[in-house]
Chains A and B, each alone.
Chain A
Amino acid sequence: MKATLMEDTGANLAASLRIALATIVLCGGLYPLFIFSFARFATPEASSGSLVRNEAGHVVGSRLIAQAFTKPGYFWPRPSAVKYTAEAAGGSNLSPAGPEVRERALKTVKAFGADSRRPLPADLAAASGSGLDPFITLQAALFQAPRVASARGMALAEVEAAIRRHAAAEQIFWSGDGLVNVLLLNMELDKTGKTTMVPR
Chain B
Amino acid sequence: MQILMLLLFIALPVLLSWPLGSFMTAVMNPSLNSSDGSLAILLRKTGGSILQREQDWKGYLISMLFFNAIMFGAVILMLALQQMLPLNPDGKGPLEASLIFNTAASFVTNTNLQHYAGEVSMSYFSQLFALTWLQFVSAATGISCFTALARSLAGSTLVGNFYRDLLRSTLFILLPLSIVVALLLVAGGVPMTFEGAAAAKTLEGAIQTIARGPVAAMVAIKQLGTNGGGFFGPNSTHPCENPSFLTNYIECISIPLIAMATVWMFGRITGRMRHAAVIFSVMLLLLILKSGIALNLESAPAMAFKGLPIESVSNLEGKELRFGPSGTAAMWAAVTTATSNGSVNCMHDSLNPLTGLVPLAGMWLNVIFGGVGVGFINMFIFIIVGVFICGMMVGRTPEYCARKVETHEMKLALLALLVHPLLILVGTALFASTSWGAGTVLNKGAHGFSEILYEFSSAAANNGSGFEGLGDGTVPWNVATGLVMLLGRFIPIILPLAIAGSMAAKKPVPETTGTLRIDTPLFAVVILGSVLLIGALLFMPVAVLGPVADYLSTSLQ
- A residues less than 8 Å from B305 (CB atoms): 101-102, 105, 122, 125
Cβ 8 A contact of A46, one of B179, B191, B237, B301: B191
Q: Determine whether the beta carbon of A102 is less than 8 Å from that of B304.
A: yes
A-B contact count (CB 8 A): 370
How far, in whole Å, are A74 and B206 apart by their CA atoms in the complex?
Answer: 14
B123 to chain A, nearest CB (A): 12
B192 touches A97 (CB 8 A): no
Q: How far is the CA of A11 from the CA of B44 in the complex (A)?
A: 12
Interface: B464 (CB within 8 A) = no
CA distance A118 to B199 in the complex (A): 38
Contact call B239/A134, Cβ cutoff below 8 A: yes
In the complex, the answer to whether B320 meets A129 with C-beta atoms within 8 Å is: yes
What is the CA–CA distance of A134 and B444 in the complex, to the nearest angstrom?
Answer: 30
Question: Would A28 and B128 be within 8 Å (CB), given that A122-B301, A183-B203 are in contact?
Answer: yes
Mark interface residues in B173-187 (1 if CB within 8 Å of A CB, else 0).
001001100110011
Q: What is the distance, in angstroms, from A136's C-beta to the closest C-beta of chain B?
A: 7
Residues A121 and B317 in contact, CB atoms below 8 Å apart: no
Asked whether B315 lies within 8 Å of A126 as measured between CB atoms, the reply is yes
B443: A residues at CB distance < 8 A: 93-95, 98
Residue of B129, B132, B200, B245 ringed by the most chain A CB atoms within 10 A: B200
B residues in contact with A91, CB < 8 Å: 234, 237, 317-318, 346-347, 349-350, 468
Q: How many residues of A contact B (CB 8 A)?
A: 102
Q: Per-position contact with B for A123-135: 1 when CB-CB < 8 Å, else 0?
A: 1011111111111
Q: How far is the CB of B355 from chain A (nearest CB, A)?
A: 9
Q: Does B467 contact A (CB under 8 A)?
A: yes
Q: Answer yes or no: A90 CB below 8 A from chain B CBs.
A: yes
B212 adjacent to chain A (CB < 8 Å) = yes
| Residues B214-255 near A (CB distance < 8 A) | 214, 216-218, 220-221, 232-234, 237-240, 243, 245-246
Q: Flag if B189 contacts A131 (CB, 8 Å).
A: no
For A74, the chain B residues whose CB sits under 8 A away are 203-204
Contact of A39 among B175, B192, B313, B318 (CB under 8 A): B192
Instruction: Give complex CA distance A54, B245 in Å.
Output: 27
Contact indicator B309/A116 (Cβ below 8 Å): yes
Q: CA–CA, A20 to B340, complex, Å?
A: 24
B208 touches A67 (CB 8 A): yes
Report yes or no: B467 in contact with A93, Cβ–Cβ below 8 A: yes
Residues in chain B near residue A131, CB distance under 8 A: 234
Shortest Cβ gap from B314 to chain A (Å): 8
B163 close to A19 (CB less than 8 A)? yes
Interface flags, B65-91, vs A, CB<8A=1, else 0: 011011100100000000000000000
Whether A14 is near chain B, meaning CB under 8 Å from some CB there, is yes
Contact stretch, chosen from A57-65, A148-156, A158-166: A57-65
Decide yes or no whether B101 CB sits under 8 A from chain A: no
Among B63, B166, B179, B311, the one with the most A-chain Cβ atoms within 10 Å of its Cβ is B311
Q: A19-B67, A27-B137, A87-B211 are in contact. Are A96 and B321 (CB under 8 A)?
A: no
* Chain A residue contacts of B200, Cβ below 8 A: 51, 59-62, 67
Report how far A117 CA is from B200 CA in the complex, Å: 39
Q: Does B442 belong to the interface (CB within 8 Å)? A: yes
CB 8 Å contact bits of A105-145 with B (1 = contact, 0 = none): 11001000011101111110111111111111101000000
Contact with A along B318-345 (1 / 0, CB 8 A): 1111111100010000000000000011
**Is the beta-carbon distance between B191 and A42 smaller than 8 angstroms?**
no
Q: Contacts of B304 on A, CB cut-off 8 Å?
A: 95-99, 101-102, 105
Does chain A have a CB within 8 A of B498?
no
User: Which of B45-53, B381-389, B426-434, B516-524 binds A?
Assistant: B45-53
Rounded to whole Å, the gap between the CB of B218 and the closest CB of chain A is: 8
Q: List 7 A-B contacts (CB under 8 A).
A: A19-B46, A23-B167, A36-B217, A39-B192, A88-B117, A130-B237, A131-B234
Which are the 9 A-B pairs with shortest beta-carbon distances? A93-B469, A96-B302, A97-B303, A28-B129, A97-B554, A129-B237, A91-B347, A126-B316, A39-B192
For the A-B complex with A43-B186, A67-B204 known, give 5 more contacts whose Cβ atoms are closer than 8 Å: A27-B136, A32-B128, A36-B193, A86-B209, A87-B197
